Amino acid sequence: MSLSAIGNSERPTTESLDKALEVYSTRHLVRRIVLLTLAMLAVVLVSLMLGRYTAWPSQIFQTIAEHFSASGILTDPKLDRALFNIRLPRIVVVVFVGMALSVAGASYQGMFKNPLVSPDLLGASAGASFGACLAMLMDLGNEFIQIFAFAGGLLAVLCVLGVNRAVRSDALLGLILGGILIGTLFSSGTSIIKLVADADDKLPAITFWLMGSFASITLRDMLLTVPLMVLGFVMLLSQRWNLNVLSFGEEEARSLGVNTRRTRFIVIFGATLLTACSVAIAGIIGWIGLVVPHLTRAIVGPNYRVLLPTTMLVGAIFLLIVDNFARLIYSVEIPIGLLTSILGVPFFAFIYRRNMKGW
Amino acid sequence: MATLLEVKGLTTGYGKKEVVHGIDFTVGNREFCCVIGANGCGKTTALKCVLGILPAFSGVILLEGANTADMTVRERAQHFAYIPQLHIPPFPFKVADVVLLGRTPYLQSSAGGATEHDKLVAWRSMDMLSIENLADREYTELSGGQQQLVLIARALAQEPDILVMDEPTASLDFGNQQLVLTRLRALSRSGMAVLMVTHDPDHALFCADKVVVMEDGKVIDQGSPSETINSDKLRRIYRTEVFVADVDVGAGYTQRTCIPLMDATLMDTRKG
């Protein structure tokens, strides 16, 4: 039944339409998103400049232009190598991991109707850690560590889906319960590996890996991760309206015409892909997936249609800044997972005070 | 009155446990229908089945003659709008955004993309409930009555054939209950069919054109409020002493109301 059939709205439609469009105007949000995009480009540029071999923007632009020019003449081959073999892959991967963890965290917070949820809820990180440690214990090479980590993450979440099916309770409760059980199981597995690992070389390597780092990112890593992560982004972004609806609960979402099972499956698959990829390439980087979505809500509000793409920008900026500190603050790199936790806690307390009164 | 919704021989429940045992009732076009009954009588279960949240064990639910079992979730949401009990979502959505969610069953993409028409319909449903002045406020900071009106506006934005509600006034105070029920009554007067489950017979007396009385998973009576709600019936379904009276509320109007009675022995002690 159309509204005009039951309504008292006999007023001219143009006037109503103008008001409606004004209420739903997103002009103020667009301005903020443009600013954030510019901020991200600025941070990327600054990150390219900083390092053992500091360069000015003019040098960077010149080197990039020369790199892609047909002549192949380089005025500064050292900078060319630093940029294209080390800094650029690292910065691209940091940007993508920042985006991945933030968007996965924001999606889970909506799907589980809980602002305190982070992307490792369903055990993807625990599984990936276990996989990586197993590969290190078996003395496998770097690429196997990544493959094992990725597979471990997927396996853990598959197990959680299995538990959910077996307990057959409320869909969300079953998933959360499964996440706790399987997460604990895989963490125990990791502890066992640490226990039997050689305390002289393997144990420190494992411990260091678990703290997260972008120090050894190569061009190959970048080319491997980016397409997988793009797939994850597309999946999550495709559900961003439905995430609004899901945050009102299962029954309401269905009464609003959302196929909740399908949406949940896409969100879990996308978020797991992104989390497992992140852990495989950079180890455990905590707090980003919890803090950044809230930071973004403070900037553009909670509507997932805008929040989800914006949280990717904010996540990239946040992690890039932290990574710059990690590589520059001290002569030895500081594990980035430690820094994100140390920075994340006060940040979270601040945001909580400012805009979480509604909880 | 033409029949809009027809429930025939509906049996349903949770898992294998049968809760509703073959019920029949109808809701007419433009009719306000209340389902009353004690806690656990199966009224909410029956409602969930009508909404497609629970599957029917047997029986059919027809909407204008079409079997709702053949509808997709999306099609169903274009015909049935559900107004839940009040609850707080985890994020402070803007009122206008909450109402626009009612357009979900018409959107082309699960990523959103509401058209001008969708925004217009959402705005008009706020206008209809006189809450357009709340459009920019945060849903979470409104009063309970206002929040419930926002959910009703969201339901109207679905442009449904029928509004379906499960105790929409539970957890609201007396004034807010009246606010919400009055608006619902006005909506139904202007042509919207309503199916509402309530445990409070006074609410049924206040709004309903038709009352369906349920007991132990069966419909034991249906008809106009004055036919169905009387002392004997209420005493039977609620298992308590109650007196149903027609009260003169002034200006020549009478209103039927339910007065719960104390136990006879207590009445005696009060008399002294």
pLDDT digits (tens, 9 = 90+) for A46-59: 999 998 888 899 99
Query: Which of A3, A241, A256 is the closest to B125 by Cβ?
Result: A3
Each residue's pLDDT tens digit, A298-319:
899 999 999 999 999 999 999 9
Each residue's pLDDT tens digit, B23-80:
999 999 999 999 999 888 999 999 999 999 899 999 999 999 999 999 999 999 999 9
Q: Tell me the C-alpha distance between B158 and B168, whole Å.
A: 17
Place of tokens 């399987």: A182
Taking CB atoms and an 8 Å cutoff, what residues of chain A touch B77?
A: 254-257
**Residue-level pLDDT at A245:** 96
Mean per-residue pLDDT, B163-174:
89
The answer on pLDDT for B234 being more than 70 is yes
| Residue B127 to residue A16, Cβ atoms within 8 A | yes
Chain A, 27 to 56: residues with Cβ < 8 Å from chain B are none
Q: Tell me the C-alpha distance between A219 and A231, whole Å.
A: 19
- Closest residue of A to B154, CA-based? A256
**Residue-level pLDDT at A329:** 87
| Residue B78 to residue A257, Cβ atoms within 8 A | yes
Of B152, B163, B212, whose CA–CA distance to B7 is shortest? B212
Query: Which of B75, B105, B111 is the closest to A256 by Cβ?
Result: B105
Task: Give the other-Cβ count within 10 Å of A266's Cβ.
Answer: 18
Helices (H), chain A: 3-6, 13-23, 27-49, 57-68, 77-81, 88-111, 124-137, 142-167, 171-196, 202-210, 219-238, 240-246, 250-255, 260-282, 288-300, 304-328, 336-355
| Residue B190 to residue A6, Cβ atoms within 8 A | yes
**Residue-level pLDDT at B153:** 95
Residue A149 and residue A132 in contact, taking contact as beta carbons nearer than 8 Å: yes
Is any Cβ of chain B less than 8 angstroms from the Cβ of A254? yes
- Closest residue of B to A11, CA-based? B124
Mean per-residue pLDDT, B7-20:
92
| Residue A245 to residue B116, Cβ atoms within 8 A | no
Chain A, 2 to 31: residues with Cβ < 8 Å from chain B are 2-9, 13, 16-17, 19-21, 23-24
Query: Which of A3, A8, A256 is the closest to B121 by Cβ?
Result: A3
Strands B32-36, B210-215: pairing is: parallel
Task: Domains for chain A: give ranges and CATH numbers.
Answer: 26-66+76-355 (1.10.3470.10)
The answer on pLDDT for B95 being more than 90 is yes
| Residue B101 to residue A256, Cβ atoms within 8 A | yes
**Residue-level pLDDT at A359:** 42
Mean per-residue pLDDT, A78-89:
90
Mean per-residue pLDDT, A131-144:
91
Q: Tell me the C-alpha distance between A232 and A241, whole Å.
A: 16
The helix or strand, by DSSP H or E, that contains position B62, with its residue range, turns out to be strand B56-63
pLDDT bracket for residue A8 (50, 70, 90)? very low
The helix or strand, by DSSP H or E, that contains position B151, with its residue range, turns out to be helix B144-157
Return mean pLDDT, chain B: 90
Of B36, B33, B51, whose CA–CA distance to B185 is shortest? B33
Q: Tell me the C-alpha distance between A206 and B91, whole Å.
A: 38
Q: Tell me the C-alpha distance between A317 and A300, whole Å.
A: 16
DSSP B106: G
Return mean pLDDT, chain A: 90
**Of residues A239 and A349, which shows the higher confidence score?**
A239
pLDDT bracket for residue B172 (50, 70, 90)? confident
pLDDT bracket for residue A13 (50, 70, 90)? low
Mutate to test the interface with B, among A3, A4, A242 (most CBs of B within 10 A): A3
Show contacts of A51-60: CB within 8 Å, 24+ apart: A51/A82, A51/A86, A51/A87, A51/A327, A51/A328, A52/A82, A53/A78, A53/A79, A53/A82, A55/A79, A55/A82, A55/A83
| Residue B82 to residue A239, Cβ atoms within 8 A | no
Size of interface A-B (CB pairs under 8 A): 155
The answer on pLDDT for A9 being more than 70 is no
Lookup: tokens for A23: 């209420």
**Residue-level pLDDT at B85:** 83
Q: Tell me the C-alpha distance between A4 and B159, whole Å.
A: 10
Lookup: tokens for A168: 């057959």
Mean per-residue pLDDT, A34-40:
97
β-sheet bridge partners, residue B13: B18
Task: Please give, rounded to a whole number of angstroms, the shortest distance from the CA of A301 to a CA of chain B.
Answer: 7
Query: Which of A114, A245, A358 is the closest to B104 by Cβ?
Result: A245
Task: Please give, rounded to a whole number of angstroms, the shortest distance from the CA of B247 to a CA of chain A.
Answer: 32
Each residue's pLDDT tens digit, A151-201:
999 999 999 999 988 887 777 888 999 999 999 999 999 999 999 998 888
Task: Please give, rounded to a whole number of angstroms, the shortest distance from the CA of A31 to a CA of chain B.
Answer: 18
Each residue's pLDDT tens digit, A219-270:
888 998 899 999 999 999 999 999 999 999 999 999 999 999 999 999 999 9
The answer on pLDDT for A122 being more than 50 is yes
pTM: 0.90
Each residue's pLDDT tens digit, A56-73:
999 999 999 998 888 778
Task: Please give, rounded to a whole number of angstroms, the shortest distance from the CA of A241 to a CA of chain B.
Answer: 5
| Residue A251 to residue B48, Cβ atoms within 8 A | yes
Query: Which of B73, B120, B141 is the closest to A358 by Cβ?
Result: B141
Q: Tell me the C-alpha distance between A208 and A149, whole Å.
A: 15
Taking CB atoms and an 8 Å cutoff, what residues of chain B touch A115?
A: 90-91
**Residue-level pLDDT at B88:** 82
- The sign one gets for the Cα dihedral A18, A23, A24, A26 is positive
Lookup: tokens for A108: 């889970």
**Residue-level pLDDT at A358:** 46
